Structure formats: C-alpha cells, structure tokens
C-alpha cells in the first residue's frame, strides 16, 4: 500500500532501503530516545 500527496509518499520498507535505514538508525542523536536503540547493518535488514 502506498499513500501519495504532492509532497510526500509513504510506503512500506523495501529490502533496497537497508542502507538508508542503517544510516539514520545507527546515529546516536536519532536513536537516543528510541527503545530499539541503535541498529547495526544486519538489524536494518529487517526493514
């Protein structure tokens, strides 16, 4: 399922998103308050 507006598209994660998910989920400033904590590259593969 995809939801699209003129400025935004929301969609489920794809395997090709792995590197991008890793980029933000491995940043301590981003994950500081998240219960998941930081992810490694293998953890980002779940998305």
Q: Average pLDDT of each block of 10 consecutive residues along the chain (47 residues)? A: 95 89 82 72 62
Cα distance between residue 21 and residue 23, in whole Å:
5
pTM summary value: 0.56
Cα distance between residue 18 and residue 10, in whole Å:
16
Asked if 34 and 21 touch (Cβ cutoff 8 Å), the reply is no
DSSP H or E run through 35: none
pLDDT value of position 1: 87
Within a 13 Å sphere around the CA of 35, how many CA atoms are in the beta-carbon half? 0
pLDDT value of position 30: 80
């Amino acid at each position: 399922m995809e939801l699209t507006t003129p400025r935004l598209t929301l969609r489920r994660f794809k395997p090709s998103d792995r590197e991008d998910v890793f980029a933000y989920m491995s940043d301590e400033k981003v994950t500081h308050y998240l219960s998941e904590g930081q992810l490694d590259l293998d953890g980002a593969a779940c998305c």
